[in-house]
Homo-oligomer: A and B are copies of this chain.
């Protein structure tokens, strides 16, 4: 028998009366309340949210889909979202996209679509989607059918109503100008895996007559979250092969730090022998030597804004489609210099 029933019995009150007192509704006899509350404490009464949610139609929980937790960029936003949610009485279901992170047969792995479905079945009140790359079509299909409020950060499907965009055009343009000004004409992109991040970069560089390549031998194949060491090993190997591009742009600061180590080991001077650009504006970009020229992604504020928006949607305060933008910024430091034209 449920605790409320027990209390109701002992106090000879009705179930509902007890329930309402417990829920904090005012207007009841003070003594009655005291008796009820005392008993509740003795029984260690814990209201059951499942029943509450079932009857009340709101689960007070949200889903947070986040593409990975491998860089502070993502983790920072997760933290903010979780904090805001918590402060507003919501709990977060975490959903990461690690389909490739662990070596397991692909068909044994639950897909993102399955997991999302699961969340919907749990009747989350809202969903936060923070991904850099487009979501698989099955996932989009689910999103379309579900009627819960969704706020996207960064990438969003065309039909999305609520989006927090990350504007990188200006930063990329600045970067291109900066590099062109140093005499660079050719750049190599070091990436984790072929991705879409490269296209806007390529476009921006082309406007300044800079040619960007992303040759497979500069692409990391593994899927470990250890960007630094992977990049270091890869770059060391490239350098050993005599492949020293005058300008290397890395997909993440952590990777650039790894390359920096490889340069050190190979006796290459940065930026005299090779120029290096990072991505993210992470702390490590400031504490490596030389300091990294990098594109700083927006940090503090994004997650908070995103949650506030979702909250509004969930309360149906407003239902307007909209789009807030946070901008990335170029940070010029010491890893970019005059093009070491002679080498290649």
Q: Which residues of B contact A101 (CB under 8 A)?
A: 79, 83
Contact of A69 with B59 in the complex, beta carbons under 8 Å: no
Looking at the assembled complex, report how far the CB atom of A41 sits from the nearest CB atom of chain B, in whole angstroms.
Answer: 11
B119 lies within 8 A of A229 (CB): no
- A51-65 near B? 1/0 per residue, CB < 8 Å: 101100001010010
What's the Cα separation between A44 and B265 when bound, in Å? Answer: 59
Interface of A is mostly: helix
* In-complex Cβ contact of A229 among B75, B118, B283 (8 A): B283
- B residues near A117, Cβ cutoff 8 Å: 46
A96 partner, pick from B44, B48, B79, beta carbons under 8 A: B79
Q: Is A258 an interface residue, CB under 8 A from the partner? A: yes
A237 to chain B, nearest CB (A): 15
- Supposing A93-B92, A225-B72 touch, asked if A121 and B47 sit within 8 A by C-beta, the answer is yes
Closest to A290 in B: B264
Is the CB of A205 closer than 8 A to any CB of chain B?
Answer: no
* Given known contacts A92-B93, A121-B48, A121-B49, A284 and B257 CB-to-CB distance under 8 angstroms: yes
* Least CB distance, A296 to chain B, in whole angstroms: 13
Question: What is the count of identical protomers in the complex?
Answer: 2
Interface assignment of A273: CB less than 8 Å from any CB of chain B:
no
In the complex, which residue of chain B has the Cβ closest to the Cβ of A96? B82
Q: Is the CB of A98 within 8 A of B79?
A: yes
Residues in chain B near residue A306, CB distance under 8 A: none
- List B contacts of A30 (CB < 8 A): none
Which among B46, B92, B145, B232 is the interface contact of A94 at CB below 8 angstroms?
B92
Q: Which of A224-254 contact B (CB under 8 A)?
A: 225-229, 231-232, 254
Return the 3 tightest CB-CB contacts between A and B, nearest first: A228-B283, A228-B287, A261-B287
The interface of chain A, by Cβ under 8 A from chain B, is 44, 46-51, 53-54, 59, 61, 64, 69, 72, 75-76, 78-79, 82-83, 86-87, 91-96, 98, 101-102, 108-110, 115, 117-123, 145, 225-229, 231-232, 254, 257-258, 260-261, 264-265, 283-284, 286-289
